[in-house]
Chains A and B, each alone.
Chain A
Amino acid sequence: MGSIKSEKKEKNNETHTHIISVLVLNNPGVLQRIAGLFTRRGYNICSITVGSTESPNMARMTIIVKGNDKILEQVVKQLNKLIEVIKVSDLSVNMCVKRELCLIKIHAPNESSKSQIIQYTNVFRGKIVDLSQESLTVEITGNSDKINAFVDLVRNFGIKEMARTGLTALMRGPKILKSKKS
């Protein structure tokens, strides 16, 4: 029995990345309340995105957390305790659509580097959103792996500035996050 238990324990201790989708009331201070919870309990946020939803009095937060199963369980439970949190869901990685947007300003002083970057951008289905004598700004959307790959590709040109939004996600299929009641 002991061995089964310890095996289970080891499994629980593995660190995973989790995508947590949180539906909250769109009240002033709600972001602080959520962020404060993570700080207070010592959980690490990898990224957090916040935005409006189909309903004006609600907002959706997509939080990426790294931790083992025990930490994740606590994160979900503690979030659920907050009065302004309507629903919390751990979106399993395969069962959701996830996207991140990234803006990259790339050093491009001559035509050849410009045309090369434009080619790369096309392959990654990105967009050139700004152009100047010595730089290009590219908008690229996708999951984090795709963006990482693009960033690696253009690194040699020299990345002058970059802004990533962090991941946002929705469940696949007809299911939606609903209030705790229903």
Chain B
Amino acid sequence: MKGAEAIIKALEYEKVEVIFGYPGGALLPFYDALYDSDLIHILTRHEQGAAHAADGYARASGKVGVCVATSGPGATNLVTGVATAHADSSPIVAITGQVPTKLIGNDAFQEIDALGLFMPIVKHNFQLRSAKEIPETIRSAFNIAKTGRPGPVHIDLPKDVQEEELDLDKYPIPAKVELPGYKPTKMGHPKQIKLASSHIFKAERPVIIAGGGVNIANATSELMQLAELCNIPVCTTLMGKGSFPENHPLALGMVGMHGTKPANHAVSESDLLIAIGCRFSDRITGDINSFAPHAKIIHIDIDPAEIGKNVRVDVPIVGDAKLILNNIVSNLIKISMNNNGNREWVEYLQSLKKSCTPKMDYSDVPIKPQRIVKELMNVIKELNIERKSIITTDVGQNQMWMAHYFKTHFPRSFLSSGGLGTMGFGFPSAIGAKIAKPDFKVISVTGDGGFMMNIQELGTIADYNIPVVICLFDNRTLGMVYQWQNLFYGKRQCSVNFGEAPDFVKVAEGYGINALRITNPEEIEECLKEALISDEPYLLDFAIDPSEALSMVPPGGKLKNIIDPITEHPNEKVICFDEIKRRFLEKGSNKNENALLEELSESEKDEGIKV
């Protein structure tokens, strides 16, 4: 058997169902082996799309997503997607082709140091040097990707290794792999769990921050138990959205820079902060010195390096969130914790929450994004697909509007690029999510900027007829940058306007995809319904108000210091090519063309003399 076939066998052994990829020279043996396999291969239109799709697949399903790309440019195109998965602890295995081992280091055609390139953005990576390493390496790669704190693993696969003969009987796929340097901790320390329980028992103003780790650990029901048992309000990070139903009376919404007022106040005024699977990024804490100033902090995380990295922690607990929460809950039941202790605190936060219910039912033209979010929630409810829908967002204003206004109730139903903030993530990750959960409605909410970064994947959903619904928040503006320039750079808008092109409806139609442009808020509901019921790929191009912006905490500011946005219509002047040409020619106008030519020939003469 050839190495390439062994790889396919090893992937099948890992129960891989689908591969997102893009072939190329250094991967020809792999693709040849794929020809005889039952593995589904989704050909994306760009390697970045493949990486994001594998990531979306992993986030939606909890299984390992697989993407492949060829050597050199294929590998570099994967980088953004792999780094995105790394920042959000998403388990993917990325395979890149490589030039034959004999040519490595010779600057061969399409050669790049993929091992070095991926090293800082993966949990681990391998370069295969011989086919007999295949069975163990692939097994290790999947094991590393999905256990402990999940993350991407990269395998660099030279072409000759794919072609080398391998006897799988001699080098079988091992049932278990031993990695001497890799033993993730699962069980939390019982002493710390006890200590945490007693802190929770005593606390008067406790609050939980639920991060992405709760979703990853499938610990949502344990989180609910803890919150309800002890009457503890819950706020989430962006990655933690869905870990706690946002229609629950104890839910406070998102915390941090773009967080809600009740969530930010709760954290700032609490006497006990229970952080679960979150890494206290700068977007959560703001000014670190005024973050939760009165609170003792319990930090539960599977990655010991996250504890004490950004904030001081009083009770660190390393391990799996599900197991630890379970232990804490049973401890608290033992010491008969009742849920009346924090009543005043919860009532205070709930009244705060009521007082800042956001206005959503605008009927303005151009459409306000809040209205679209509202209609989207209503339609999902009406069609009774709350449990069977997945939202992916892009990065920027669309992401924050969704995080802020869209109520998420179920884990793995709100996928967003949190850590790396990758524009272009939303649409291709929706493709992956739809493949992972074919019976779910998958809605890609995106801005026009991020959508255009991977717009080529329209070809993928058209070809495979993948019924993803794209909700395009189209304001022809890089809204988040515009918002920051207005607030922090004296309204000096620079390079944030997109102008009129393209006509997204025509683009979609060019791919044979249904598309509607919606300019009237009264049409939103009907169009959403049409798209969601159709079971076909759909692009809904909402013309939204470009001046709309969100209130926020300034970077490095105190969480309670939420400032209002400046909402003015973007009015940046865009210069056109004719103007650029005029300026360039003007600069050179003291030299006429003949003089330039003379200069050129003289410099040639100079060179001639040198030679």
* A and B assemble together: yes
Rounded to whole Å, the gap between the CB of B213 and the closest CB of chain A is 15
Q: Using CB atoms, name the residue of chain B closest to A81.
A: B305
A78 to B124, CA, bound (A): 13
* B123 interfacial contact with A, CB 8 Å: yes
In the complex, the answer to whether B120 meets A80 with C-beta atoms within 8 Å is no
A78 to B309, CA, bound (A): 10
Dominant secondary structure at the A interface:
mixed
B residues in contact with A179, CB < 8 Å: 180-181
A65 to B185, CA, bound (A): 27
Rounded to whole Å, the gap between the CB of B290 and the closest CB of chain A is 15
In the complex, the answer to whether B181 meets A82 with C-beta atoms within 8 Å is yes
Query: Interface stretch among A27-35, A45-53, A143-151?
Result: A27-35
A180 in complex: contacting residue of B115, B180, B303, B305, CB < 8 Å: B180
Q: Count residues of chain B with CB under 8 A from any CB of chain A.
A: 18
In the complex, the answer to whether A28 meets B127 with C-beta atoms within 8 Å is yes
**A25-B180 in contact given A81-B303, A83-B144 (Cβ < 8 Å):** yes
A119 to B303, CA, bound (A): 56
A residues in contact with B309, CB < 8 Å: 74
Rounded to whole Å, the gap between the CB of A18 and the closest CB of chain B is 17
Q: Would you list which residues of chain B between 79 and 123 have a CB under 8 Å from chain A? A: 115-116, 119-120, 123
B182 in complex: contacting residue of A28, A29, A77, A83, CB < 8 Å: A83
Contact with A along B306-323 (1 / 0, CB 8 A): 001100000000000000
A74 in complex: contacting residue of B115, B127, B305, CB < 8 Å: B305
Q: Using CB atoms, name the residue of chain B closest to A70.
A: B308
* A134 interfacial contact with B, CB 8 Å: no
Q: Would you list which residues of chain B between 292 and 348 have a CB under 8 Å from chain A? A: 303-305, 308-309
Rounded to whole Å, the gap between the CB of A85 and the closest CB of chain B is 5
* B183 interfacial contact with A, CB 8 Å: yes
* B179 interfacial contact with A, CB 8 Å: yes
In the complex, the answer to whether B127 meets A180 with C-beta atoms within 8 Å is no
B residues in contact with A36, CB < 8 Å: 119-120
Total contacts A to B, CB within 8 angstroms?
48
* A73 interfacial contact with B, CB 8 Å: yes
B residues in contact with A81, CB < 8 Å: 303, 305
* A175 interfacial contact with B, CB 8 Å: no
A residues in contact with B115, CB < 8 Å: 29
In the complex, the answer to whether B180 meets A181 with C-beta atoms within 8 Å is yes
A29 in complex: contacting residue of B119, B123, B308, CB < 8 Å: B119
B residues in contact with A80, CB < 8 Å: 304-305
In the complex, the answer to whether B308 meets A85 with C-beta atoms within 8 Å is no
In the complex, the answer to whether A32 meets B119 with C-beta atoms within 8 Å is yes
Q: Using CB atoms, name the residue of chain A closest to B149.
A: A81
* A84 interfacial contact with B, CB 8 Å: yes
* A104 interfacial contact with B, CB 8 Å: no
A85 to B116, CA, bound (A): 17
Most chain A CB atoms below 10 A, which of B115, B144, B181, B304: B181
A residues in contact with B119, CB < 8 Å: 29, 32-33, 36
In the complex, the answer to whether B305 meets A85 with C-beta atoms within 8 Å is no
In the complex, the answer to whether A180 meets B308 with C-beta atoms within 8 Å is no
Q: Using CB atoms, name the residue of chain B closest to A86.
A: B181
Rounded to whole Å, the gap between the CB of A73 and the closest CB of chain B is 6
A32 in complex: contacting residue of B116, B179, B181, B183, CB < 8 Å: B116
Rounded to whole Å, the gap between the CB of A101 and the closest CB of chain B is 29
8 interchain pairs (CB within 8 A)?
Answer: A25-B180, A29-B116, A36-B119, A40-B120, A70-B308, A83-B124, A85-B181, A179-B180
Task: Name the 10 nearest CB pairs between A and B, nearest first.
Answer: A77-B305, A83-B124, A86-B181, A179-B180, A83-B182, A180-B183, A85-B181, A40-B120, A78-B305, A86-B180
